Amino acid sequence: MEVMEVPEPPPPGPGEVIVHPDAVGICGSDFHFFAGELQIFDSSPYPRVQGHELTGIVEQVGPGTSRVGVGDRVSVMPISGCGSCYPCRVGRGNVCDDFSLVGIHTDGGLQEKLRVPESQLFPIAAEPEVAALAEPFSIAVRTINRSRIQEGERVVVLGAGPIGQAVHLLAGDRGASTLLVDRLQSRLELGAASGAEGLLWESRDQVVEACREWAGGEGPPLVVDATGAPDPIRAAVDMVASAGRVVVVGMSGEEVPLRIGTFTEKELDLRGVSCCDPEEFAEAVRFVERHQELLEPLISRSFPLERAPEALAYAMEHPAEVIKVVITSGAAT
C-alpha cells in the first residue's frame, strides 16, 4: 500500500454525488483483498484504492439529486447490483452475480474525494468514527434477519470480532440472549461489557458441550458463525438443537467436512449471509444513531489518512488488541 496523489474525480453527473470521506473502517475482507486472497476476479483488480466502510460529508451534488445535500453527513452502502441476473430479478441484488463493491471493484474511501451514486448514500447523525460502523452493522442486520431470530431465544455467536459483536448487540436489541465464543479473552470481555455471556474456545468438543448446557441441554436454537473457520462451523452444526438454524456470515475459502446425516436427522436450516439490501442498510444506520455510546468501545484505534499503510498493518498484526481500526482525516489516537 502506498500513499500517493491521484486525480480528482470529474464533477458529479445526474444522480451522482462527490463525498469527502472522513472516517473509513478496516475489516477482514480488506485483509483478504490486500493479501490477494479474494477469488472473485477474472483479471487483476490492482492497483485499487481500498475502503468500503465509510462515512463522509457531501461536497457536490449532480443534477437530479434529492435525498442528500451539500454539508450532509452520509454513510455509503458500498454494494450495487446489475439489476438483470436471477438474484436481482427476485429481489436479492445483494448477491448479484455481477455485483460491484466500492473499495474492491471500484476505488474506495481511502481518498479525499469519492464520486458515488446518490442511491448508495444514507444520511446519518453520528460522529465520524462511529458512523463508519454502519456498514459492518448492516451485515449484522442481514444476519439477524436471515436467522429469523425470536425474542427470548438463546443465541450462540462463534467469533467475537466486529461482526460477532455487532450480531450480539442486534440480537440483544431484539430481545435475545447471547453467548459469545472466541479464542481471545479480550474480545469476550468487550462483549460482556454490553451484556453478552462469554466462553473461551479451547476445543471443539468443549465448546459444543458447554454451549448445549448453556442453552438448557437441547442445544441452542440458533448458532451464528462469524469466523469462517472449519472447526467452529462444524461445532455449530453439532451443537445446534434439532429443528434449529445455523447461519454462516464468516468469510473464508476453507472447506468444512460435515456429516450429512446431521442435517436430515435434526432437520437443520443452514443459511449463508452476504451483504445487505438498502432497507437493511437503513436499519443499521438507525441502530448506529441510537446507540453511539454503546458502539464507541468497538473503535480500537484511529490513524490519519497519510498513515493508512501503517493502519492496515497494525490491524492485521494485532488481532488481540483490535476490534475496529478507523482511518480518519484527523490525528492518530
Residue 288 corresponds to which cell in the numbers above? Answer: 448506529
pLDDT tens per residue across span 274-292: 999 999 999 999 999 999 9
What burial class does residue 35 get, using C-beta atoms within 10 Å of its C-beta: 0-12 exposed, 13-18 middle, 19+ buried? exposed
Cα–Cα distance between 221 and 238 in angstroms, integer? Answer: 12
- Sign of the alpha-carbon torsion through 126, 56, 164, 261: positive
| Residue 332 confidence class, pLDDT cut points 50, 70, 90 | very low
Mean pLDDT of the chain: 94
Helices within 268-324 (DSSP H only)? 278-290, 292-295, 308-317
| Residue 166 confidence class, pLDDT cut points 50, 70, 90 | very high
Lowest mean pLDDT among 61-75, 108-122, 312-326: 312-326
Number of Cβ within 10 Å of residue 275's Cβ equals 21
> Which pLDDT score, from 0 to 100, does residue 31 have?
84
Task: Return phi, psi of residue 173, to 5°.
Answer: -65, -25
> Which pLDDT score, from 0 to 100, does residue 331 have?
44
Mean pLDDT score, 245-255: 92
| Residue 39 confidence class, pLDDT cut points 50, 70, 90 | low
